[in-house]
Every structure is written in structure tokens, then in C-alpha cells.
């Protein structure tokens, strides 16, 4: 395979990056409760040629200003940090561990899980840009080999990193063409009489502001410790800094199966189905835990071991860029763009229903109702601007991501067709993160499958 062309980044971005201060959201990810690293596991259908990977990375990632800059203390601003460009030595970033031959490994999946778990015990030295890549030539249930990116969250959010991943990939059917970007479809405006549309829009605006008012009150009550989640086997102790080792579990489900459920119901999305599946899995897991190892005989209410009125909430990140979906990398790095690179997200506090249902589709119905309710709220925008406000006037040390929730939940759109990454056909992409003081579940949709990654 030939070397990929350098990724397109506007020159003026690099020139202005010397001494540029970290954004408020980037600074947030250096606080104890929010010192988060993103893990991206990429499974390949072939063995890894580490020399090919290194040769291509040399012409791609170092040209990106965030992946070729140090984060150093800004002595002119209390608690501030700034980006300082530096030379990238790939030997400090690309790691190829010596693993035993597959014939001598009884459980390769467990070997990979343990390896990624060990990464969560450590961080990356501040003397180099905060990212590294681990190449594992070991066959697992889903791939012949895999690469594991570890990237500090201050470098960018999931939307930014996915745009970078796709910019470094090519279509498997056309090695010279970039992959198709996942674009979120917007609903068409309904046609009708002027007065009817006006009344509907007026009502929707009232609902939007009322929902936002209620959500903000709940958020403030949570931040002041008046509103807490129920203590469950999945709830971590408040005040935990997320520095304990984490276990990463990756599972794959068929996108066709998810679409089968979606098409069997009215006006639901794939994300609604995935949230419903997550609620069902969490409910059954907690039912088994509360049943003290009793055999799970089904979802009938008469075998319900769950306490009544469990409050189980998840912190869910929301992309706040005006252009929905994944954007081209060059556009995200352009000066003055609205879909800019970085951490452009707010978060919402989503209530998960923990209960056993005889009808499995009830989980999806409840998930749809909850997701529709959150879409009709400005809570994510409020949390984003509240965080920036506190950092500006009170200092970054006085703010962190919410740690009172039981779980973090994220959903990132992935490649829409078969792709290759630096000449290696990709079997799956599974993002996750560590450093947060709670359980985390992430999912990413690809061509024919959806990747689930659980961190506990």
C-alpha cells in the first residue's frame, strides 16, 4: 500500500496554535473527576503491518495541531494551560507489545480485555502530545488483529475524533476515495394551513421552555446534592476520581436485528432501540444482583427482585454543532467554521427505567418517550454555557463533569460502508473512555453492525 496523502488542515490554524490557550471544555478534562481518556478499539480483518501503520501516521497525525502540541501551564492565567507545538517522535506514541503466539493463548479476548484494562491504570506523560497507539497482532472473536488508540479528551470529542478517523481511512471498494460521512437526516417541515402551523409552533416553543425549566431545576438539585440516584450495585461511591482500573467489554450486535425491531414499531429511531436494549440489559442484570445469584427465569413480573422506584440516571453527551452528524476534517479545522474541532458538546441527565417487562418492546417505547422528551429541551446548551461561565468567573478547579450519576451513555455514528484504515480492512470500531467515576456504555453504528462497549 502507498503512503496516504497528508490530511488537510488549514495552515492558519497551525500558525495561530503557538501559545493558544486551551478552551474551557478542554481545560475541564484535566480536573480530577473529569480527567478522561478516550479509547478507540479498531479491529482488522488481516494481520497488522506495523511499518505501514507508522509510515502513514507520519504523514497524517503530526500535521494535526492538536496531535502535535504539548499542553503546558500558562503562568499568566491561574489554572490555565496552553497549546505549544512540538516535534512528534512516533517511537513515543506507537507501541507494538510482544504477545505470545495465538496457539499458546487459551482466551485471546481476555488477553485483549486485560491489556486495555491495564491502560486505564496509567496516563500519558505531559512531556509529549497526549495520545498513543497500541498495535496488537492477536486474533480475537471479531478480528484478526486490532489497534487501540488512547487519546486525552482535551484533544477533541467523539465527533471530532470520528472525522479524523474517516479522514485517515479509505473506501474498501475504492482505495482512493474517502468514506461517506454519516449525515443526520432532518425531518421535513410539515405543510398545512398558516394558522395551524403557527399554533403548533407556538405550542412547541412553550413545551421547549417548560421542559428546559424543569430540567435545569433537576440539574441544579443534583449539583447541590438534593437529588441523588438510588444506591445500586452499579452505583460508584460519590467522590470517586475514576482512577481505579476499568474493565472493557466489547460486544457486537447485528444492525439488521436492530432495524427489525425499529420497523416493527411506529416512528422510532435506531438510537431509541439501542437505549431500550440498554435499559433491558441493565434491568435484568440488577434483578440478578438483587436476587443474590438466583437463576434468571425470564422477565415475568412475579420473579421481580428489584426495589421499587429505582432512580437510575445516565449522563449523555450531546453534539452542539449546528451541522448534525460527522463533518469533513478540513472543514472542522477551518477558521470561523460553525462545525469546529474540539469539545463542542453539552450533556443531559437521562432517566433510565429499571424494571422487568413481559413485553420487551415496552423498553423501546419508554426509551422513545424519554429521548423525545430530551430533544424538546435546551438542557444540553444550558450545561455547556453554565460550564463555561463557572470556569470563566470561578476558575476551572471549581467545576467538573457530573459525578452523581450512575452511568454515562454515548452514541457516535460510524462509517456507513466497508473501509480500510492505512490499508488494513476494518472489521469494527469500538469507542469508549476511562477516567469518569461511573459505569460507561458506548455504542457505534457501522455498516451491518452496532458495537457495544461497556466500562465498569
Question: Can you tell me the distance from the alpha carbon of 349 to that of 149, in angstroms, rounded to the nearest whole number?
Answer: 28
Average pLDDT, whole number, for the chain? 84
CATH 3.50.50.60 for the 11-171 domain, yes or no: no
The answer, yes or no, to whether residue 361 has pLDDT greater than 90, is yes
Q: Which residue has the higher pLDDT, 30 or 424?
A: 424
The whole-number pLDDT of residue 416 equals 83
**pLDDT by residue (tens digit) across 15-57?**
444 578 888 888 889 887 788 999 999 999 999 999 999 999 9
End-to-end CA distance of the chain, in Å? 39
The answer, yes or no, to whether residue 242 has pLDDT greater than 60, is no
**Average pLDDT rounded to a whole number, residues 423-448:** 88
The whole-number pLDDT of residue 427 equals 94
Q: Which residue has the higher pLDDT, 196 or 365?
A: 365
Catalytic residue among 134, 152, 153, 424: 153
Distance of CA 344 to the CA centre of its chain: 13
CATH of domain 194-413+437-455: 3.30.559
- Indicate the domain borders of the chain: 11-171, 194-413+437-455
Q: What pTM was estimated for this model as a whole?
A: 0.87
For this structure, is 153 an active site residue? yes
Question: Per the structure block, which three cell numbers stand in for 380?
Answer: 444540553
The whole-number pLDDT of residue 16 equals 43
**Average pLDDT rounded to a whole number, residues 350-363:** 93
Backbone angles phi, psi at 157, to 5 degrees: -90, -175
**Average pLDDT rounded to a whole number, residues 405-417:** 87
Amino acid at each position: 500500500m502507498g503512503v496516504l496523502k497528508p490530511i488537510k488542515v488549514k495552515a492558519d490554524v497551525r500558525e495561530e496554535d503557538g501559545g493558544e490557550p486551551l478552551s474551557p471544555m478542554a481545560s475541564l478534562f484535566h480536573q480530577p473527576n473529569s480527567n478522561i481518556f478516550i479509547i478507540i478499539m479498531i479491529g482488522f480483518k488481516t494481520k497488522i503491518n506495523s511499518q505501514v501503520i507508522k509510515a502513514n501516521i507520519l504523514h497524517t497525525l503530526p500535521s494535526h495541531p492538536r496531535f502535535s502540541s504539548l499542553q503546558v501551564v500558562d503562568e499568566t492565567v491561574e489554572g490555565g494551560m496552553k497549546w505549544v507545538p512540538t516535534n512528534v517522535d512516533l517511537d513515543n506514541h506507537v507501541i507494538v507489545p510482544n504477545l505470545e503466539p495465538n496457539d499458546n493463548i487459551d482466551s485471546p479476548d481476555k488477553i485483549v480485555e486485560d491489556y486495555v484494562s491495564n491502560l486505564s491504570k496509567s496516563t500519558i506523560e505531559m512531556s509529549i502530545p497526549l495520545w498513543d497507539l497500541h498495535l496488537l497482532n492477536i486474533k480475537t472473536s471479531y478480528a484478526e488483529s486490532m489497534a487501540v488508540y488512547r487519546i486525552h479528551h482535551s484533544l477533541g470529542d467523539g465527533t471530532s475524533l470520528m472525522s479524523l478517523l474517516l479522514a485517515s481511512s479509505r473506501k474498501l471498494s475504492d482505495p482512493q476515495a474517502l468514506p461517506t460521512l454519516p449525515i443526520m437526516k432532518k425531518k421535513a417541515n410539515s405543510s398545512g394551513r398558516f394558522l395551524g402551523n403557527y399554533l403548533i409552533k407556538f405550542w412547541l416553543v412553550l413545551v421547549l421552555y417548560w421542559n428546559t425549566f424543569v430540567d435545569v431545576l433537576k440539574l441544579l438539585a443534583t449539583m447541590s446534592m438534593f437529588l441523588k440516584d438510588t444506591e445500586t450495585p452499579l452505583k460508584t461511591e460519590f467522590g470517586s476520581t475514576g482512577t481505579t482500573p476499568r474493565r472493557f467489554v466489547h460486544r457486537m450486535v447485528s444492525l439488521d436485528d436492530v432495524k427489525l425491531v425499529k420497523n416493527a414499531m411506529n416512528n422510532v429511531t435506531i438510537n431509541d432501540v439501542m437505549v431500550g436494549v440498554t435499559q433491558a440489559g441493565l434491568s435484568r442484570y440488577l434483578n440478578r444482583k438483587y436476587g443474590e445469584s438466583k437463576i434468571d427465569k425470564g422477565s415475568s413480573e412475579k420473579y421481580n427482585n428489584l426495589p421499587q422506584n429505582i432512580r437510575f440516571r445516565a449522563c449523555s453527551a450531546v453534539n452542539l454543532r449546528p451541522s448534525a452528524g460527522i463533518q469533513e476534517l478540513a472543514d472542522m479545522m477551518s477558521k470561523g467554521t460553525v462545525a469546529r474541532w474540539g469539545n463542542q458538546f453539552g450533556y443531559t441527565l437521562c432517566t433510565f427505567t429499571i424494571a422487568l417487562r413481559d413485553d420487551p418492546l415496552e423498553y423501546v417505547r419508554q426509551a422513545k418517550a424519554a429521548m423525545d422528551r430530551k430533544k424538546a429541551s435546551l438542557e444540553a446548551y444550558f450545561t455547556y454555557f453554565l460550564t463555561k461561565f463557572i470556569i470563566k468567573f470561578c476558575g476551572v478547579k471549581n467545576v467538573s463533569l457530573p459525578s452523581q450519576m450512575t452511568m454515562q451513555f454515548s452514541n457516535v455514528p460510524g462509517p456507513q460502508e466497508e473501509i480500510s484504515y492505512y490499508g488494513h480492512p476494518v472489521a469494527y470500531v469500538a469507542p469508549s473512555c476511562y477516567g469518569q467515576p461511573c459505569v460507561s456504555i458506548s455504542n457505534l453504528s457501522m455498516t451491518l453492525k452496532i458495537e457495544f462497549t461497556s466500562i465498569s
